[in-house]
Amino acid sequence: MPMSENFQGRLYPDLKEIAQHFGTPFHIYDEQGIKETGDRLLNAFKDFEGFREYFAVKALPNPAILSLMGSMGFGFDCSSIPELVLSRKAGARADDIIFSSNNTTLEEFEAALGNGGSIINLDDVTMIDKLPQMPERICFRFNPGADRSGNDIIGNPAESKYGVTTAQIEDAYKKSMELGAKRFGLHTMLVSNELSREYIIQTGEMLLTLSEKISKSLGIKFEFINIGGGIGIPYKPEDPHFDLESLAAGIKDLYTKFQEKNGYTPRLMMECGRFMTGPHGVLVTTAINKKEIYRKYIGVDTCMAALMRPALYNAYHHIDVLGKMDESQATEVVDVVGSLCENNDKFAIQRPLPIIEDGDLLVIHDTGAHGHAMGFNYNGRLRPQELMLRSDGSVELIRREETIDDHFATLDFESNVYKP
């Protein structure tokens, strides 16, 4: 089952009360589960000196979550000014942030370089001249093109907008050196929600081999390689769990060989979002309408404004109906739908679920990453509150729901009429 049984054990007994206290809908995150995943990651990579995870802020940009990540020693992967601001508010300084933007503006570079700075990860060779100044340490995002395959969410490398090509990459470092760069990193991000460790081990191998090649021809050493995020989680009950320990062992073998050959190794970095928080969040919503036409529909009190993944990626999110989870329950096949005037506003399509009545609580699993954060306001729909289930069993509001005033805030402006 995707959402961990421990999280269910912590949440389900009190969920009815929590829902009564805060009202539905809400996303709720499991502090204990996030800590356990953080510990597991640190333990898997404990033999790598200087290993560091930079949490991908876009997955769950909430200050309470960022503080939790910071307390575990993790840094932050940012690609926008608001993400930089949030990370710095959580205490992040220079080395704690990697700025992996693309199609970047001057304003964004200035924000990334100022206020204590960050590790700049350039997405293109043309960005070298667009940087206000070349920092001492520079990193490039590598795109191997047709040499590697990708996956559904992120697309094939050869068709993706990201990164520097095989033909360009050496010159990118050469040019940066000429402008004063002295410390170097190499980054890539090729897959999303990938459950195969082999693919990610190959990515490590690709980066180590490339760094060796560039080191030789330019006479530089790489301080770090960053294998990106993209480690997957089991959204479907039959999906395998990602074997993190075998991933670490596979990369360790590569590092041992690299050490023997070169007498040093670059630090290993990664920037997982989904793996860190995905399974540790759920969207809790109340069934409010039942409709029987050509299909049966269960209408709930939230919509795709709170969780876009099903509509955007046709993603599967497991659903529990609270109090109706034993196997003997009669089921019926339904579509679970929101209220948006969009027919793809569905959390489940033709899913067998226990017989649902108005007032039942539905728990939509694995919304802890790219869930609330991806939300939007189309159709005047407002995003729900976020709660944190603390390790001590208390539940804390960590973001209130949006209000109509929030929604109309951008309509409050000085008149500005221009006639050419």
Ligand X SMILES: *Cc1c(COP(=O)(O)O)cnc(C)c1O
Residue with tokens 């002295």: 182
Is 35 a binding residue for ligand X by CB under 6 A? The answer is no
CB of 186 closer than 8 Å to CB of 142: yes
SS3 404: helix
Of the ranges 56-64, 260-268, 292-300, 359-367, which one interacts with ligand X (CB under 6 A)? 56-64
The verdict on whether 139 is a catalytic residue reads: no
Contacts of 332 (CB under 8 A, 6+ apart): 296, 352, 353, 355
Minimum Å gap between C-beta 28 and ligand X is: 19
What are the residue ranges of helices labelled H in 139-190? 166-178
Strands 183-187 and 222-226: parallel
Beta strand pairing status for 281-292 and 361-364?
antiparallel
Under rule CB under 6 A, how many of the chain's residues touch ligand X?
A: 18
Is position 59 an interface residue for ligand X (rule: CB under 6 A)? yes
Name the one range near ligand X by CB under 6 A: 2-10, 15-23, 187-195, 402-410.
187-195
Under rule CB under 6 A, residue 192 binds ligand X: yes
| Binding residue (CB under 6 A) for ligand X from 75, 144, 230, 368 | 230
- Kindly tell me which of 76 and 258 has the beta carbon lying closer to ligand X: 76
Among all chains, which residue has been given the structure tokens 């010159």? 171
Minimal distance in Å, beta carbon 189 to ligand X? 4
Alpha carbon distances (Å) from 302 to 20, 23, 198, 273: 16, 12, 38, 24
| CA 299 vs CA 26, 291, 349: distances in Å | 16, 8, 12
Identify the residue whose tokens are 């709170």. Answer: 306
Contact pick of 2, 61, 228, 281 for ligand X (by CB under 6 A): 228
Which is nearer to ligand X, 135 or 273 (by Cβ)? 273
Q: How far is the CB of 306 from ligand X (least distance, A)?
A: 18
Residue 64 to residue 38: CA distance in whole angstroms: 15
Minimum distance between the CB of residue 271 and ligand X, rounded to whole angstroms?
4
Binding span for ligand X by CB under 6 A among 29-37, 222-230, 243-251, 398-406: 222-230
Of 121 and 215, the one with the shorter C-beta distance to ligand X is 121
Q: Is 101 in the site for ligand X (CB under 6 A)?
A: no
Nearer to ligand X, 351 or 370 (CB): 370
Give every CB contact of residue 114 below 8 A, 6+ residues apart in sequence. none
Residue 369 binding ligand X, by CB under 6 A? yes
Helix axis angle, 31-44 to 63-71, nearest 10° = 40
298/307 with CB nearer ligand X = 307
Nearer Cβ to ligand X (104/192): 192
Minimum CB distance to ligand X, residue 359 (Å): 34
- Asked whether the beta carbons of 381 and 6 are under 8 A apart, the reply is no
Q: Is 239 left (phi over 0), alpha (psi -120 to 50) or beta?
A: beta
Residues 89 and 414: their CA atoms lie apart, in Å, by 30
Residues 235-274 that bind ligand X (CB under 6 A): 271-274
- Least distance CB 81 / ligand X (angstroms): 16
Chain positions contacting ligand X, by CB under 6 A:
56, 58-59, 77, 100, 189, 192-193, 228-231, 271-275, 369
Active-site amino acid positions:
341
